[in-house]
Amino acid sequence: MDRILLKSFIALAGLCVCSAASMAQDADLAKKLSNPVASLISVPFQFNYDTGYGPNDGDKAALNIQPVIPISINEDWNIISRTILPVVWQNDIAGLSGTQFGLGDTTQSFFLSPKEPGPGGIIWGLGPVLLLPTGTDSLLSSEKWGAGPTGVVLKQSGPWTVGMLANQIWSFAGDSSRSDVNSTYLQPFLSYTTPDAWTFTLNTESTYDWESDAWSIPLNAMVSKIVRFGEQPVSLQGGLRYWADSPASGPEGLGARFTVTFLFPAAN
Ordered per-residue pLDDT tens for the chain, 268 residues: 556 555 545 444 444 444 666 778 899 999 999 999 999 999 999 999 999 998 889 999 999 999 999 999 999 999 999 999 999 999 998 888 889 999 999 999 999 999 999 999 999 999 999 999 999 999 999 999 999 999 999 999 999 999 999 999 999 999 999 999 999 999 999 999 999 999 999 999 999 999 999 999 999 999 999 999 999 999 999 999 999 999 988 999 999 999 999 999 854 4
Residue 97's pLDDT is what? 86
Element (H, E) at 196: none
Which residue type, as a one-letter code, is found at position 200?
A: F
Residue 1's pLDDT is what? 54
Angle at the Cα of 46 (from 124 to 154), degrees rounded to 5?
15
Closest CA to 258 of 216, 228, 223: 223
Residue 95's pLDDT is what? 82
Residue 56 to residue 229: CA distance in whole angstroms: 43
Closest CA to 216 of 83, 48, 95: 48
Give the Å distances, CA to CA, from 41 to 62, 74, 85, 243: 22, 17, 17, 31
Give the Å distances, CA to CA, from 184 to 9, 199, 208, 217: 59, 27, 5, 12
Tell me if 260 sits within 8 A of 65, measured CB to CB. no
Q: Burial of 158 by CB count in 10 Å (0-12 exposed, 13-18 middle, 19+ buried)?
A: exposed
Element (H, E) at 6: helix 2-33
Residue 66 to residue 44: CA distance in whole angstroms: 5
CA 225 to chain centre: 15
Q: What is the CA radius of gyration of the chain?
A: 21
Residue 2's pLDDT is what? 58
Contacting residues for 99 by C-beta, under 8 A, at least 6 apart: 89, 90, 91, 92
Q: Burial of 211 by CB count in 10 Å (0-12 exposed, 13-18 middle, 19+ buried)?
A: exposed
Which CATH superfamily groups domain 2-267?
monomeric porin ompg (2.40.160.40)
Residue 3's pLDDT is what? 64
Closest CA to 124 of 115, 133, 132: 115
Residue 45's pLDDT is what? 98
Residue 157 to residue 159: CA distance in whole angstroms: 6
